[in-house]
Structure 1
Amino acid sequence: MNTNLTRRGTVAAGVGTLLIPLALMLGTPAQADVRAEPVGPACASLPQEGEGSAEGMVDDPVATAASNNPELSTLTAAIEQAGLADTLNDAENITVFAPTDEAFEKVPQADLDALLADEDQLTEVLTYHVVGEEVAPGDLADGTFETLQGDDLTTDEVDGAYIVNDSAKVVCGDLETENATVHLVDTVLLPPESTSSPS
Structure 2
Amino acid sequence: MANLLETAAKSGDFKILLKAIQATELEDTLDSEGSFTIVAPTDAAFEKLPSAERDALFANIPKLKRIVLYHVVMGNVQAEDLAEIDEAPTMEGSILAVKRANGKIHINDALVDRTDILADNGVIHTIDTVLMPAILEHEYD
Q: Given the two structures, how large is their TM-score scaled by the length of structure 1?
A: 0.66
Aligned to 2:102: 159
Deviation at 1:168, TM superposition (A): 0.2
Aligned to 1:182: 124
Deviations 1:4-58 (A, max 9, x none): xxxxxxxxxxxxxxxxxxxxxxxxxxxxxxxxxxxxxxxxxxxxxxxxxxxxxxx
Aligned to 1:168: 110
Deviation at 1:185, TM superposition (A): 0.4
Question: Secondary structure of the residue that 1:88 maps to in structure 2?
Answer: helix
Question: Secondary structure of the residue that 2:86 maps to in structure 1?
Answer: strand
Aligned to 1:98: 40
Aligned to 1:76: 18
Deviation at 1:103, TM superposition (A): 0.4
Asked whether the equivalents of residues 38 and 124 of structure 2 are also in contact (C-alpha less than 8 Å), the reply is yes
Question: Secondary structure of the residue that 2:135 maps to in structure 1?
Answer: helix
Measured on the aligned residues, the alpha-carbon RMSD in Å equals: 1.6
Q: Given the two structures, how large is their TM-score scaled by the length of structure 2?
A: 0.92
Deviation at 1:143, TM superposition (A): 2.0
Bigger relative CO (Cα 8 Å, ≥ 6 apart)? 2
**For residues 20-169 of structure 1, what are the structure 2 equivalents within 5 Å?**
59-141=1-83, 142-165=85-108, 167-169=109-111
Deviation at 1:195, TM superposition (A): 4.9
Q: Which letter maps to 1:77?
A: K
Call closer, same or farther: CA 1:79–1:69 in 2, change over 3 Å. Answer: same
Deviation at 1:194, TM superposition (A): 2.6
Structure 1 moving runs of 4+ over 2 Å = none
Greater helix share, structure number? 1
Q: Percent identity?
A: 34
Deviations 1:74-102 (A, max 9, x none): 11111111111111111412110000011
- Runs of 5+ in structure 2 lacking a partner? none
